[in-house]
Each structure stands twice: as structure tokens, then as C-alpha cells.
Structure 1
Amino acid sequence: MNLEKRVIEVKLKEGQKVYYLIGGFVESGHVIDLEKKPYGYIFRLDSYGGCEGQYTIDESQIGISVFLTEEEAKSHMHEQNRSFPAYC
């Protein structure tokens, strides 16, 4: 079986507005705590967290659960396995 690695070249900026899927809905938030790691980068959203605080999101979620435009997020909102969980 030949698997292709998905490459995402997106440069997020601190404070950038993005859109994400949660519980089948599209929400928006701003990128905070953007951190470069040896394997890529991680970030948090000011509007997505739980009882313990903001959740850390890996760059691999861009194009799956996190989107740069509202239109792209809406086009994927009814697909299974794309939303973040909507509970804490």
C-alpha cells in the first residue's frame, strides 16, 4: 500500500482569525500561543478550550478541523470525523 504524506504549507500568525468545526458547527477564533516545534508547530485558539483551559492544536488539523476561511469550514461541516469534540 502506497501512502502519500500530506504536506501543509500554511503560515499562521498570532492573532489570525481561523474557523474550526466543533460538534457539527462552524466556530471562529484567533490563534494564540503559536509555538514552533522540531516537527512543525502547535497553537491554541482563544475560543476553544475546556474546563482546564485552552486546548493545544497540532498543525496537522489545518484543513481537517481548522480552516483559514469560513467558506472552507462550511464545506466540510457535515463530514464525519472532522469536528473537535464539544464536551469537556
Structure 2
Amino acid sequence: MISVSWYAFNITQDFFDPFYPGTKYEIGEGLYIGWCSATLAICSGVCLLCACKLEQPEPTPYMYHQSKGTVYSAAAPSHRGASSTYDRNAYV
């Protein structure tokens, strides 16, 4: 966008200068296409920035505690102290 605007400024400055001896150009379709494409690029960058927000990773069922070297599970605790070894929670 900066280069397109800079070129448009130079064209406008040369066009309105009565003492400019060279060929005078006018603002054409190429500049409008450049401004539109730069605007779309900025808008898509903003959309990408908003879509890629920083999120915390979801907690997994197994959390590893590095300081103690143990693994904690979020699963239900086992029933090993039951009187029967084959209760309704022990599936084969």
C-alpha cells in the first residue's frame, strides 16, 4: 500500500506541475487495483489474527507431575478392597 500510494503521489505531483517537461500520467486502474489488493491483504491479516487467538491446551486425563515423577489419572479409582474379586465393575 505504501508503494502504490507513493507512486500515486508522484503522478499527481508531476501532473499538476506546469514546468514538468516529461510525459504526464494520470491515476489509472492499476493504482486502484493496488489499493484494493492492499486493503484486502490488511483485512485478511486482521481476520487471521483474530482467528488464531492464543488458547490453553485442553487438559488430558493423565496429568504428569514433573517435580515428583508421578502420573495422576482422572479416571475412576479402582475397587481393590472389595470382598469379591468379580464384582460388577470387573469386566473381562
* Same fold at TM > 0.5: no
Query: For this structure pair, what is the TM-score category when the shorter chain's length is used for normalisation?
Result: under 0.3
- Higher helix fraction (1 or 2): 2
The structure whose RCO (Cα within 8 Å, separation 6+) is larger is 1
- Higher strand fraction (1 or 2): 1
